[in-house]
Structure 1
């Protein structure tokens, strides 16, 4: 067996590098020039994309900041009775005078239902909530609102304000609109859009005024508050006697106790002499006649009428 075969035999240099095929490849390598076309194509493409992005950015900035093409200018309103469409239109125009990151706040992209609700409820206290908001095209918006329901009239410093069921001061008024009037005895400032911080006060006044005719024959002549933060309220009857109530206690129990007191302790013939009845204590009911000492009875007697 042959250890060294012929095909492993080392070729001589003139035979290895002097062949026709090798010389042909050598000439091709000498004449080779590196092509710059891919690099130039990449640079052209990069510059084109860069300028395209710049142009697109300028167009976006123009329509967001400068142009009024996408600014909402028309509004249609549903569900309104106290607020006019003109007032809402003016509110949106006033909102457009303010900007968010250089973009007008009445721009199409910014007027989502949440933003419309916040803007209009702040601008117009009569609006409790924006129930629905639809953008039609790029210049028009259709909204549906829920207005606040007036509960009573708050009178202070020769001015009158409508207050809704939640205690929000809706607007100033000159008429009572058939609502009970509550007189503020201190000269505190009242601002439209303000919320009465005592959450129980408004509910108590409305509930007591509504329940009064079912328990007391004499109608309510007026209602008074010592402060807009008060925890007590004074109801003055047409017979000119007063009843003091605690807003933190039950309307039913206090009114029932007052009804029992009037029917058992103070007959109709003595009502003209009655000065006031104090129902604020949980244990005692106090009542006073004009020019006479006050009397008291246990408040537990209230429960007998339940």
Structure 2
């Protein structure tokens, strides 16, 4: 009924588990002893990897912008732009990281500084090309327009927004012709805000150019307006007379009306006898001689001024 236990069975059931337990404890202690070593080894390897990667990306000369190319410039020489790039990238951060680094170089900051330093440049497009090239494409202004109204003068850009003008004031003519408009109302303007809803500066420069090319009329570079809301600019020509122009009209309309006026009403040779020519009213021209009452155009010439094409057709028939 009762089975007889084999000799040593008691030792097998009692003492062997204790031996296994001792071995397990010894293995666990060895494993615990090895874990810190593996951790520090892994940490060391990661630090070496990250340090090498950081050196290659941020410190190594492999990613320094050493090749600089410029296009689209004529007023500002390539040598000046290269010098500007060298000065802009001559600093180091924390005495270690070069400003020429491909990853650290900021194109927006460089472009903004360039436009502020050289007002001759209208826009600048900066492009980085991996691993060590920088390309600069610029568009230059033909001339600058300053708006002065009861305070500091501001540069009007192509979108008629006011910009700082410290760099443009006093520029020599060969660098950039500058035309100034004085607002007699003295209304303040906000920096960076548009002054007009239409291309005022573009039309103003076009009038200077077209009047000279078409009629040989050279205007002084300083003009006057009663207010920016009047859409009116008053120029003074070299002959001493004045031109009153509506800047809300296209410049070509003003030029066509003036051409008909010279052909049908007043020979251009008599310009020196005039006090002013008033072109502010569309399809109407008023004028006055020096020391004489104001004259108004005849009805026939008014009709021609309404439609320049009809006036040209009438001339061809004659």
Q: Which TM-score applies when normalising by structure 2?
A: 0.63
1:90 and 1:223 mapped to 2: Cα distance? Answer: 30
Aligned equivalent of 1:43, options 20, 27, 36: 36
Over the aligned positions, Cα root-mean-square deviation in angstroms equals 4.6
Q: Which TM-score applies when normalising by structure 1?
A: 0.65
Greater strand content: 1
Higher Rg: 1
Deviations along 1:225-254, whole A, 9 cap, x unmatched? 227x95433444454332221222221222
- 1:222–1:235 Cα contact (<8 Å) kept: yes
1:159 is aligned to none
Q: CA deviation at 1:148?
A: 1.1
1:183 and 1:269 mapped to 2: Cα distance? Answer: 28
Does residue 24 (structure 1) correspond to residue 12 (structure 2)? The answer is yes
In structure 2, relative to structure 1, the CA distance for the partners of 1:39 and 1:115 (3 Å cut) is farther
3-state SS, counterpart of residue 220 of structure 1: coil
2:106 and 2:147 mapped to 1: Cα distance? Answer: 38
Q: CA deviation at 1:286?
A: 2.8
2:62 and 2:306 mapped to 1: Cα distance? Answer: 66
Q: CA deviation at 1:276?
A: 0.8
2:260 is aligned to 260
Q: How does 1:111-130 map to 2 (within 5 A)?
A: 111=105, 116-118=110-112, 120-127=114-121, 128-130=123-125
Structure 1 residues not aligned, in runs of 5+: 1-10, 157-161, 189-193
3-state SS, counterpart of residue 222 of structure 1: coil
Deviations along 1:243-280, whole A, 9 cap, x unmatched? 22122222122222222233333345643321111212
1:204 is aligned to 203
Structure 2 residues not aligned, in runs of 5+: 149-154, 187-191, 310-318
Does residue 150 (structure 1) correspond to residue 154 (structure 2)? The answer is no
Aligned equivalent of 1:302, options 296, 301, 305: 305
Aligned equivalent of 1:134, options 129, 142, 148: 129
In structure 2, relative to structure 1, the CA distance for the partners of 1:91 and 1:219 (3 Å cut) is same
Q: CA deviation at 1:294?
A: 2.2
In structure 2, relative to structure 1, the CA distance for the partners of 1:223 and 1:256 (3 Å cut) is farther
2:115 and 2:267 mapped to 1: Cα distance? Answer: 51
Q: Which moved more, 1:233-242 or 1:30-39?
A: 233-242
1:224 is aligned to 222
1:292 is aligned to 292
- 1:131–1:145 Cα contact (<8 Å) kept: yes
1:78 is aligned to 70
Q: CA deviation at 1:114?
A: 5.2
Q: CA deviation at 1:305?
A: 0.9
- 1:253–1:303 Cα contact (<8 Å) kept: no
2:295 and 2:18 mapped to 1: Cα distance? Answer: 127
How many residue pairs get aligned? The number is: 277
